[in-house]
Amino acid sequence: MHDIAAATLPSGTLLPSLGLGTWKMGENARTASQEVESLKRGLNLGMTLIDTAEMYGEGGAELITGKAIEGRRDEVFLVSKVYPFNASRQGVIDACERSLQRLKTDQLDLYLLHWRGEHDLEETVAGFEELRRAGKIREWGVSNFDVEDMEDLMEVEDGENCAANQVLYNLSRRGIEHDLLPWCQERGIPIMAYSPIEQGRILRNTELIRIAKAYQATPAQLVLAFVMRARNTIAIPKSSDPHRVEENAGAAGLEISREDWAALDTVFPPPFRKQPLEML
């Protein structure tokens, strides 16, 4: 069990700053049991936030998640997302019901709009608020929203109830540090970082390897520690390998010196101007 720092939603609800992603799970029957095992291993290690979506495997990842949390729903902070084309007022309610059935639970802890689509934000928020009043979700938020989108959301009735924003953020994609990250931090809205290891593509960097070795850590652990060092930021790496999940959990509590972060800044420079929000 790792001592994982907590992030805080605007409501005061605490959740772990290191969780479990499920993107690309539930797509292959042959790997299903290992995927379930990986999520269970993560829960055992204190990574009790699971992030999924109706889009992942067209519901398949929610089915995998439902199996992993069976008998231990109370331990888990459960997040799912609605497709933008399902995000009309009634569409959100119907999509949530389908997700709850696949997850075999009666409530989501956090329900996110996956990205901004054709439906007015007023409609989506009204649907979210109805779900909240009905006890189907505890909180709602958004994903892939840039500052301008967040400002639009704040203009909508009940838009200020947004509890989180999930975006692409890692050592090689730092654009949000210029404006979106501070904007959210000022308002107490956590950032959930998806693909925090950049799907492994940055782990062969020689400077990253050198610094990780100095802390008897792996490059993946260092990259996760980078994401979690920002206040109220949550990393949700996905892995279908239980051993890799154990490695990821080891990122909790890594204390890296200011000098070593500065050394990484030279290889992965922070943004000096506004950049378009990146998505995968």
State residue 245's pLDDT score: 95
Q: Is 114 annotated as a binding residue?
A: yes
Q: Is 80 helix (H, G, I), strand (E, B) or coil?
A: strand
State residue 2's pLDDT score: 62
Q: Which H helix or E strand runs over 101? A: helix 89-103
State residue 280's pLDDT score: 86
For residue 1, is pLDDT > 60? no
Assign 253 a pLDDT band (cuts: 50, 70, 90). confident
CB 166 within 8 A of CB 188: no
State residue 219's pLDDT score: 97
Dist. CA 55–CA 82, nearest whole Å: 8
Dist. CA 268–CA 271, nearest whole Å: 9
What average pLDDT is seen over the chain? 96
To 10 degrees, the CA torsion angle through 115, 134, 129, 119? Answer: 50
pTM of the model: 0.96
Catalytic residues: 56
Question: In percent, how much of the chain has pLDDT > 70?
Answer: 99
Mean pLDDT of 111-125: 97
Most distant CA pair in the chain, distance: 54
**Domains, the chain:** 6-267 (3.20.20.100)
Residue 213 in tokens: 């070795």
